[in-house]
Chain A
Amino acid sequence: MGEETRKYLCPYCSNTLDTFEALKAHVVKEHKTEPLPPPEGFIRLTVNGQTYELKVEAEWTLYHLIHEKLGLTGVKMFCDRGACGSCTVIMDCRPILSCMTLAIECDGKTIETAEGIAKAKHPLIESYIKHHTMQCGYCTPGFITTAKALLDRNPDPTEEEIREALGGNLCRCGTYPQHPKAVLEAAKKLKKE
């Protein structure tokens, strides 16, 4: 699923424009006035490098938006309420729980999911595969995003720092011992790159 296809109607001349940004530019240029505030519930965010402009319902969580509306299945609903880390995404460089974040509060945010990390060929993906750092795999993307956020801010973590960073992620299959190995190996590869 790509960006929502919708047209933006100019309130002054009824021209339609493709994006909200284009509408704003049009209003400033053609009608010499300040653009109107965005409609209620309207947000704009960047996910895995792609820009999305959409209207969200007040009760939508960021998980709901990413999983159900953007079709990115890497965010997973596991514990159902902020206890497991499986829905973790990276928002403005920090790992956050998308199930505990309201979508409407994410206007202007930059978000990264496991899909984006894989598309960028981050070495975490291959080191996770190599070390069998998944069993049923349901919690794995949440570990990937948490680990990526750690490496972004600390490219040379100790094993203890890795365990601390991933300590909030639950894995019922018990893949825990493999994560520090996989993250350390990815850190080593990143240093070489």
Chain B
Amino acid sequence: MTGNQFGEYQKLKAEGTYKIGADIPTITFKEIGRRGVRRYDGYEKASGKAIYTRDIQLPGMLYGRVLHSPYAHARIKKLDTSRAEALPGVRAILRYDDPEFKGMKLTGSIAAPTKMAPEVAGWALKPVKDILGDLATFEGQMVGVAVCAETEQIAVEALKLVEIEWEELPFILDAEEALKPDAYVLAPGAQSNKLEETRELIEQGDVEKGFEEADEIIEFTARRHAHLWAGAEMPCVVARWNGDRLEMWVHEQQPYLGKLILSEQLDIPMNKIHTHSPYQGCSFGERCNPPNWHQNGINTIAVLLAKNAGRPVKLLLNRAESFYGESGDMMVSHFKVGAKKEGTITAVEIKSTFAQYMCTPGIEHFIDNTRIPNLKCVGITADVSKAPAWWCRCEQLPNTFCFTLVFDHVATALGLDPTEVALKNDGCEGHDISYLTEYKGEHGFPDRDSLRECIEAGKKAIGWDGKWHPPGTLKLPNGRMHGMAFTWSHDWDDVRGTGSAAVLIQNDGTVSVIAQHSDVGVNPWTAYLQIVADELGVRYEDVEINPFDLNQGFSLMSPDGSCNLCSNGFVVKKAAQKARKRLLDLATTKFEGLTANELDIKDGIIFEKSNPKNSMPIKDVVMFAAPMLNAVEIWTEPPVLAWAWHTHGLWGQALETGRPRMCRQANFTEVEVDTDTGEIRVTKVVNVNDVGKAISPETIEGQMYGGTYMGLGRAVTEEMAWDPNTGVLLNRNLLDYKYATMLDYPPAESIIIETGLGHGPYGATGIGEDTATMIPALIGPAMYNALGIWIDEFPITPARVLKALGKA
């Protein structure tokens, strides 16, 4: 966001032309909110028919592979590709010193391609900027050479035949080491390993004053080690040239942004790039933000290989090569918190050091979510010899990490029930809950206390009042120590995306939603079709979407930041409402003497409101509304087609004081700890989410129980481990990088609360990222409750438990 653009938003706000309030439904729900709606993608996915980028095969297609650095920090001094070139079946080789690549940097930023956001270009990419350079800044970096061949096997063989003379350079793995004054400086030309960051200091109120007002000062330090996405479908891309026209198949959350950036980078007119976005085997942020090295890089390499070889190329990364990043929460944080005896927090100060990338500073949930008046957050980011860090379901991880640990440390230090401490501090931007009550009244929202509702439901489900006990006091008959914990936060109200879609009534009365959209598994299309069906007044099974083709002109907001439904729900709703209006206007020509206001549509039948027997199926109304027919002998009418666009702009305070976060969530857990082995057994998780309005309840639950597994993996087992002697990542596979299986944890209980307090369509709010982000830190206080010892180092592995117990 540049200063100028922000000014535009402020102007809109001042003029009162952009007002945000509750989205009150104007229709009766039939499909929206109903359980048992058939999943749109279900059959394809269950039957193996769903096509992902990795499944694409084209006539004459070659296979591309890229060299990945074996060293943590090294430069290529000499490169001999002659033996690889001579290998039969090799069709093209690209080298870092080829004219196509020489000096080619990643372009664009998180916001947009360079041309749209020059000030922040490269923002997401530090410290890696070369697409295929001669310098490797971490082990596993794409570097030096790319090759394509008749088979993947030949391409792999060819890379083995490349002779490289490396100059090994010093490496640093630890952020605090990297920031020492005498540390070796990793990036060429840099003065130090401290990375530029605009969010180094966030301050509100006066923390020193807050500490003076406090009865207790609580101080502690916490660490989070590296983890990553490890999505199901490994990165891949297919590129095919047809003359000067380029066709792409991408495993990518944001194909339009990817196309913009590719166009800018290789100077290809945008209308000559035809992009397909097949099904996506996970993403979690991994396959988002095309300016990132692992996307912009492989896309560009594939396009150039295809051009050189004159044949289509599928470029593939294997599983080991897919460990090319980390979540942006590799951090160590020092906390100082002031609190009154009864649980009111007076000040929070956080000082953090991040490795590679501070995906969020850690203080934002205190701002958005509490009445705490004095906040200070200092965050420094260090360059280390690891892959670039990025958002990982989701960028709120540092915020929820700090929020959970602060609240639970305060509650335990004061000997209070953490649910009480939460309720005492609930609020918004330093104001207490009455501020939100007032806002709700002014903006048409119901007056409900979301946090209290979530806590009450969760406490009941887990049996909190009967079970909650002082720390380290409950030894179970099986010999293990029992622990419980609670955390909370706001919803993910990310109604911030931009999208467009069209609704077309086909000549037989069925309905097509026209828009590209990348699905990462959150069942979005079912929800869009539910909305279109209800808004139009047609049956759910009569609505279809073909979201795999970007060339159809409309593109829905990518699934970033839980934006899927909150943004796109508005888009398809608007488009359906417009199409309905066109349809009814056309219907007035068939219902003599009636105006559109006197007509209604239900189950695909148009009828006179005051005399429902006077009716006609939609197909009879659109009988002659066809885009292409022989119009010599047949009368035709324009097709019933309407498109819409929607944006909410920034979340938070950008547009008016208020778009405060009003929905809350509460997460509870129970654990058992074996003090001899350090083993942690999570026996129960209860997630309570106020989603505002549940459009597809089963989908919401899927995000809640599904996110629990990812969250618990991050809490207990998921950790990337580097060899301190070589800087090499040791667990580049899914046996040694351990995430949850079905046998590891019991199913979580999912409780949906619907207060209508979301800013999304019909009062909905986001759910895709909440649980996976909330759960990891929750295991910290659960362990404290079990053992009476804080283990503030995540993941909390058995080794760390034993160390804390003084047994290792």
The verdict on A128 contacting B281 (CB below 8 Å), with A80-B320, A166-B742 known, is no
Residue B11 lies at the interface, judged by CB distance under 8 Å to chain A: no
Stretch at the interface among A10-18, A25-33, A71-79: A71-79
Q: Which one of A71, A75, A117, A135 contacts B57 once the chains associate, using CB atoms below 8 Å?
A: A71
Would you list 16 pairs from A and B whose C-beta atoms are within 8 A, ordered by A residue?
A: A73-B50, A73-B51, A84-B734, A118-B49, A124-B46, A128-B42, A128-B46, A129-B38, A129-B43, A137-B41, A138-B232, A140-B46, A168-B741, A172-B231, A174-B710, A177-B748
Residue A113 lies at the interface, judged by CB distance under 8 Å to chain B: yes
Residue B652 lies at the interface, judged by CB distance under 8 Å to chain A: no
Residue A68 lies at the interface, judged by CB distance under 8 Å to chain B: yes
Please indicate which of the listed interface residues B42, B45, B57 has the most CB atoms of chain A within 10 Å of its own CB: B45
Residue A139 lies at the interface, judged by CB distance under 8 Å to chain B: yes
Do the beta carbons of A129 and B39 come within 8 Å of each other? yes
Q: Which residue of A lies closest to B709 (CB)?
A: A174
When distances are taken between beta carbons in the complex, the residues of chain A under 8 Å from B734 are 78-80, 83-84, 170
List B637-651 residues whose CB lies under 8 Å from chain A. none
The verdict on A176 contacting B742 (CB below 8 Å), with A73-B51, A80-B318 known, is yes
Do the beta carbons of A137 and B707 come within 8 Å of each other? no
Q: Which one of B49, B283, B702 contacts A175 once the chains associate, using CB atoms below 8 Å?
A: B702
The verdict on A172 contacting B46 (CB below 8 Å), with A67-B55, A136-B521 known, is no
Residue A164 lies at the interface, judged by CB distance under 8 Å to chain B: yes
Do the beta carbons of B521 and A132 come within 8 Å of each other? no
Residue A163 lies at the interface, judged by CB distance under 8 Å to chain B: yes
The verdict on A136 contacting B702 (CB below 8 Å), with A72-B48, A78-B233, A79-B733 known, is no
Q: Which residue of B lies closest to A67 (CB)?
A: B55
List A123-147 residues whose CB lies under 8 Å from chain B. 124-125, 128-130, 132-141, 144
Shortest CB distance A42–B (Å): 19
List B1-60 residues whose CB lies under 8 Å from chain A. 36, 38-39, 41-52, 54-55, 57
When distances are taken between beta carbons in the complex, the residues of chain A under 8 Å from B709 are 171, 174, 176
When distances are taken between beta carbons in the complex, the residues of chain A under 8 Å from B632 are none
Shortest CB distance B291–A (Å): 23
The verdict on A136 contacting B43 (CB below 8 Å), with A74-B48, A81-B319, A86-B232 known, is no
Q: Which one of B520, B705, B733 contacts A83 once the chains associate, using CB atoms below 8 Å?
A: B733
Shortest CB distance B57–A (Å): 7
When distances are taken between beta carbons in the complex, the residues of chain A under 8 Å from B710 are 172, 174
Please indicate which of the listed interface residues B48, B282, B735 has the most CB atoms of chain A within 10 Å of its own CB: B48
When distances are taken between beta carbons in the complex, the residues of chain B under 8 Å from A137 are 41, 44-46, 50, 279, 281, 521
Q: Which one of A164, A168, A172 contacts B282 once the chains associate, using CB atoms below 8 Å?
A: A172
Number of interface residues of A (CB under 8 A): 54
When distances are taken between beta carbons in the complex, the residues of chain B under 8 Å from A164 are 743
Residue A35 lies at the interface, judged by CB distance under 8 Å to chain B: no
Q: Which residue of A lies closest to B280 (CB)?
A: A136
Q: Which residue of A lies closest to B771 (CB)?
A: A174
Do the beta carbons of B742 and A114 come within 8 Å of each other? no
The 0/1 profile, CB within 8 Å of B marked 1, for residues 158-184 of chain A is 000001101111111111111100000
The 0/1 profile, CB within 8 Å of A marked 1, for residues 703-718 of chain B is 0011111100000000
Shortest CB distance A28–B (Å): 37
Do the beta carbons of A138 and B52 come within 8 Å of each other? yes
Residue A59 lies at the interface, judged by CB distance under 8 Å to chain B: yes
When distances are taken between beta carbons in the complex, the residues of chain B under 8 Å from A73 are 48-52, 55
- Complex: how many Å from CA A69 to CA B51? 16
- Complex: how many Å from CA A134 to CA B233? 14
Q: Which one of A134, A135, A163, A174 contacts B46 once the chains associate, using CB atoms below 8 Å?
A: A134
When distances are taken between beta carbons in the complex, the residues of chain A under 8 Å from B748 are 177
Do the beta carbons of B48 and A173 come within 8 Å of each other? no
Q: Which residue of B lies closest to A114 (CB)?
A: B48
Do the beta carbons of A139 and B232 come within 8 Å of each other? yes
Shortest CB distance A47–B (Å): 12
Besides A83-B734, A113-B48, A115-B47, 8 new A-B residue pairs in contact (Cβ under 8 A), listed by A number: A73-B51, A81-B319, A118-B46, A129-B43, A135-B522, A140-B45, A169-B742, A170-B739
Q: Which residue of A lies closest to B735 (CB)?
A: A83
Q: Which residue of B lies closest to A79 (CB)?
A: B734
Residue B234 lies at the interface, judged by CB distance under 8 Å to chain A: yes
Shortest CB distance A169–B (Å): 7
Residue B699 lies at the interface, judged by CB distance under 8 Å to chain A: yes
When distances are taken between beta carbons in the complex, the residues of chain B under 8 Å from A174 are 705-710, 740
Do the beta carbons of A173 and B747 come within 8 Å of each other? no
Q: Which one of B50, B52, B733, B747 contacts A177 once the chains associate, using CB atoms below 8 Å?
A: B747
B-to-A contact residues, CB < 8 Å: 36, 38-39, 41-52, 54-55, 57, 153, 230-234, 279-284, 318-320, 519-523, 698-699, 701-702, 705-710, 733-735, 739-743, 747-748
Do the beta carbons of A138 and B707 come within 8 Å of each other? no
Do the beta carbons of B281 and A163 come within 8 Å of each other? no
Q: Which one of A68, A80, A166, A175 contacts B706 once the chains associate, using CB atoms below 8 Å?
A: A175
Q: Which one of A59, A115, A177, A179 contacts B48 once the chains associate, using CB atoms below 8 Å?
A: A115
Shortest CB distance A69–B (Å): 10
Shortest CB distance A5–B (Å): 16
- Complex: how many Å from CA A59 to CA B230? 27
Q: Which residue of A lies closest to B706 (CB)?
A: A174
Q: Which one of B46, B51, B318, B740 contacts A114 once the chains associate, using CB atoms below 8 Å?
A: B46
- Complex: how many Å from CA A75 to CA B38? 24
- Complex: how many Å from CA A163 to CA B234? 26
Do the beta carbons of A173 and B318 come within 8 Å of each other? no
Please indicate which of the listed interface residues A72, A125, A130, A174 has the most CB atoms of chain B within 10 Å of its own CB: A174
Do the beta carbons of A80 and B705 come within 8 Å of each other? no
Shortest CB distance A116–B (Å): 9
Shortest CB distance B277–A (Å): 13
- Complex: how many Å from CA A122 to CA B456? 43
Do the beta carbons of A135 and B742 come within 8 Å of each other? no
Do the beta carbons of B741 and A167 come within 8 Å of each other? yes
- Complex: how many Å from CA A42 to CA B38? 44
Shortest CB distance A141–B (Å): 4
Shortest CB distance A115–B (Å): 5
The verdict on A163 contacting B707 (CB below 8 Å), with A128-B46, A138-B232, A175-B702 known, is no
Do the beta carbons of B735 and A167 come within 8 Å of each other? no
The verdict on A74 contacting B47 (CB below 8 Å), with A79-B319, A129-B42 known, is yes
List A74-125 residues whose CB lies under 8 Å from chain B. 74-81, 83-84, 86, 113-115, 117-118, 124-125
Q: Which residue of B lies closest to A128 (CB)?
A: B46
Do the beta carbons of B708 and A114 come within 8 Å of each other? no
- Complex: how many Å from CA A167 to CA B739? 12
Do the beta carbons of B51 and A135 come within 8 Å of each other? no
- Complex: how many Å from CA A171 to CA B234? 14
Q: Which residue of A lies closest to B745 (CB)?
A: A176
- Complex: how many Å from CA A58 to CA B743? 36
Shortest CB distance B792–A (Å): 26
Q: Which residue of A lies closest to B55 (CB)?
A: A73
Shortest CB distance B56–A (Å): 9
- Complex: how many Å from CA A124 to CA B39? 15
The verdict on A170 contacting B741 (CB below 8 Å), with A78-B281, A135-B702 known, is yes
The verdict on A114 contacting B521 (CB below 8 Å), with A83-B735, A132-B39, A174-B705 known, is no
Shortest CB distance B683–A (Å): 15
Shortest CB distance B374–A (Å): 38
Q: Which one of B36, B47, B49, B523 contacts A135 once the chains associate, using CB atoms below 8 Å?
A: B523
